[in-house]
């Protein structure tokens, strides 16, 4: 009688907690998965050749020198916010006729200008809403 009782013990692996274990693993992988997205500021470089004459009224010139000082249309800019305001008014004046922005913003840097400064200016120009941006080659 005793022996029979022993035989009735279930010898299967309990699978009821299997789902929980799998869930735990699933959550672990969900959390550790990092979608490494590439991000940046998109730009289109000018193609070789094909110079186009543009009405000088439609160009806003930004010149950045080696120490990071900015010249906007020949006027020195003391603070970056000022540049954005000036650019926004220029864009209002000369842009958005028939929904198309006319103004081209040209950014010219010195060869010794820091890349960080250039990105800051480019960021400002993009923030002001300029869509046509041209990068001028620094003088050698």
Query: What is the distance between the alpha carbons of residues 47 and 44, in angstroms, rounded to a whole number?
Result: 9
Residue 51 near another protein by CB under 8 A:
no
Residue count, binding to another protein (CB under 8 A): 42
**Which one of 1, 13, 45, 52 is in contact with another protein (CB under 8 A)?**
45
What DSSP string runs through 52-100?
----GGGEEEEEE-TT--EEETTEEESSHHHHHHHHHHHHHHHS-BTTB
Q: Least distance in Å: CB of 94 to another protein? A: 21
Q: Which residues of 96-113 are buried (b: 16+ CB within 10 A; e: fewer)?
A: eeeeebbbbbbbbbbeeb
Nearer Cβ to another protein (50/56):
50
Give the number of other Cβ atoms within 10 Å of residue 87's Cβ.
23
Span interacting with another protein, options 5-13, 75-83, 85-93, 120-128, rule CB under 8 A: 120-128
**Which one of 22, 54, 81, 92 is in contact with another protein (CB under 8 A)?**
22
Residues 70, 117 contacting (CB under 8 angstroms): no
Residues 109, 118 contacting (CB under 8 angstroms): yes
Q: Least distance in Å: CB of 84 to another protein? A: 11
Span interacting with another protein, options 6-14, 50-58, 85-93, 109-117, rule CB under 8 A: 109-117
Residue 123 near another protein by CB under 8 A:
yes
**Interface with another protein (CB under 8 A):** 15, 18-19, 22-23, 25-26, 29-30, 32-33, 36-48, 109-116, 118-120, 122-123, 126-127, 135, 137-138
């Amino acid at each position: 009688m005793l022996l029979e009782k022993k035989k009735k013990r279930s010898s299967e692996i309990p699978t009821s907690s299997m789902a929980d274990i799998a869930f735990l693993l699933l959550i672990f992988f969900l959390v550790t998965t990092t979608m490494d997205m590439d991000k940046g500021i998109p730009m289109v470089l000018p193609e070789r050749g094909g110079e186009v004459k543009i009405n000088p009224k439609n160009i806003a010139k930004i010149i950045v020198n080696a120490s990071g000082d900015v010249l906007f249309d020949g006027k020195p800019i003391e603070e970056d916010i000022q540049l954005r305001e000036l650019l926004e008014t220029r864009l209002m004046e000369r842009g958005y006729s028939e929904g198309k922005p006319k103004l081209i913003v040209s950014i010219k840097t010195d060869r010794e200008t820091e890349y960080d400064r250039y990105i800051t200016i480019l960021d400002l120009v993009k923030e002001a809403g300029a869509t046509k941006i041209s990068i001028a080659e620094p003088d050698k």
